[in-house]
Amino acid sequence: MIRRLESTIARVPLHLVLVGMALAWFIPTLGLLISSFRTQDAVLSSGWWTVFRNPFLAGQFTLENYKAVLEAQGMGRAFVNSIIITLPATVLPILVAALAAYAFAWMDFPLRRTLFMVVVGLLVVPLQMTLIPILRLYNKTHLAGTFPGIWLAHTGYGLPLAVYLLRNFFSEIPRDLFESAFLDGATRWTAFRVIVLPLSVPALASLAIFQFIWVWNDLLVALVYLGGTEKVAPLTVRLSSLVNSLGQNWHLLTAAAFISMALPLVIFFSLQRYFVRGILAGSVKG
């Protein structure tokens, strides 16, 4: 009993730090959400925290901010563009990385270890170094300003980390499972489809969260390869233009910002049960 009490007391500072970090992330998000529903006069006259004094005060909340952003400012089209960009740019690198990681983990071929080290080494290459060469190539091949171009770019940028994480996870799968499958006449493709993929759902889900959020929140790659064309511009590019054109009407910016946050939050909370298992996958043997 005493040991349990001492252990609990020893963990109090850690818990306080974790609670403080959670509040540091949660409070600005809560303020953004509340401000996005407040009228312009309410936003300009008082802080968002004042709503807790009289939350039922008539006239301080409205949906006009979201209506103005979605209809008048073109955010609706940008939201659709972000989905068109993000979904293939999440699925493609995970699919390619899963195949490559399976080869690096369980297939013997010349220079396997060397090639894997080269892939891992690409993690330290800043993507900014590749922007101008790839943009010149895109201009020659007419991929600039197109969805396939941005899909290929995000796939290339996401592959090194995806291959590294999945290879570490795949290598921890017991060898006996593969030997039993091969004795039963399974091919390597069958082993990958029946054994590797079902056992790797936590790792694949956590990687999907990372890739989805990174692509969804990306501004630099989209701005360089897509430009500011409204037809293909994602939310981040459109939101950056709103910051320039609506700097005074920032009550609209809160609504626009929360629209950009909504889908990543849904994705994260939907897959959070896999997140911790996927992050810890391959970190401990046995």
Band of residue 284 on the pLDDT scale cut at 50, 70, 90: very low
Any domain includes 247 = yes
Instruction: State mean pLDDT over 6-27.
Output: 81
Asked if the structure places residue 198 within a domain, the reply is yes
pLDDT of residue 275: 62
Residues 165 and 269 in one domain: yes
The CATH number covering residue 143 comes to 1.10.3720.10
Render pLDDT for 189-216 as a digit per residue (tens, 0 to 9): 888 888 888 888 888 888 888 899 899 9
The pLDDT value recorded for residue 286 is 39
Give the per-residue pLDDT at 126.
Answer: 87
HEC assignment per residue over 212-238: HHHHHHCCHHHHHHHCCCCCCCCHHHH
One domain for residues 189 and 274:
yes
Q: What is the pLDDT of residue 70?
A: 76
Q: Flag whether 34 is in a domain.
A: yes
- The larger pLDDT score, comparing residue 84 to residue 67, is at 84
User: Sign of dihedral through CA atoms 135, 137, 143, 148?
Assistant: negative
pLDDT at 268: 78
Q: Are residues 233 and 174 in the same domain?
A: yes
Is 120 found in the same domain as 27? no
pLDDT for residue 282: 46
Residues 194 and 229 in one domain: yes
Percent with pLDDT over 90 in the chain: 21
Say yes or no: 235 and 98 in one domain: yes
In a domain, 285, yes or no: no
Q: Are 278 and 206 in contact (CB under 8 A)?
A: yes
| pTM as predicted | 0.80
Residue 286 lies in a domain: no
DSSP-assigned states of every residue in the chain: -HHHHHHHHHHHHHHHHHHHHHHHHHHHHHHHHHHHTB-HHHHHHS-GGGGGTSTT-TTSB-SHHHHIIIIISSHHHHHHHHHHHHHHHHHHHHHHHHHHHHHHHH---TTHHHHHHHHHHGGGS-GGGGHHHHHHHHHHHT-TTSHHHHHHHHHHHHHHHHHHHHHHHHTTS-HHHHHHHHHTT--HHHHIIIIIHHHTHHHHHHHHHHHHHHHHH--HHHHHHHTT-TTT--HHHHHHHHHHH-SS-HHHHHHHHHHHHHHHHHHHHHHHHHHHHHHHTTSS--
Query: Do 38 and 131 fall into the same domain?
Result: no
pLDDT band at 149; cut points 50, 70, 90: very high
Give per-residue pLDDT as tens, 105-136: 888 888 888 999 998 888 888 888 899 999 99
b/e sequence 183-212, b meaning 16+ C-beta within 10 Å: eeebeeeebbeebbeebbebbbbbbbbbbb
Q: Higher-confidence residue: 165 or 273?
A: 165
Residues 6+ apart with CB under 8 A from 187: none
The rounded radius of gyration (Å) of the Cα atoms in the chain is 24
| Residue 152: pLDDT over 90 | yes
Q: How many CA atoms lie within 13 A of 102 on its CB side?
A: 20
pLDDT number for residue 276: 60
User: How many domains does one find in the chain?
Assistant: 2
Q: Do 204 and 99 lie in a common domain? A: yes
Higher pLDDT, 97 or 267: 97
Angle between helices 75-106 and 112-121 (to 10 degrees): 150
pLDDT category, 150, cuts 50, 70, 90? very high
The fraction of the chain above a pLDDT of 70, given in percent, is 88
**Chain position carrying tokens 């004795």:** 183
The residue segments making up the domain with residue 3 are: 1-62
25, part of any domain: yes
| CA angle (208, 69, 270) in 5-degree steps | 25
* Cα gap 65→188, rounded to integer Å: 54
Asked if residue 56 and residue 135 are part of one domain, the reply reads: no
The answer to whether residues 136 and 170 belong to one domain is yes
Average pLDDT, the chain: 83
Q: Which two tokens stand for residue 171?
A: 């290598």
| 227-270 tens-digit pLDDT | 767 788 888 888 777 765 555 667 778 888 888 888 888 887 77
Out of 62, 87, 115, pick the residue that ends a domain. Answer: 62
**139 and 12 part of one domain:** no
User: Do 202 and 229 reside in the same domain of the chain?
Assistant: yes
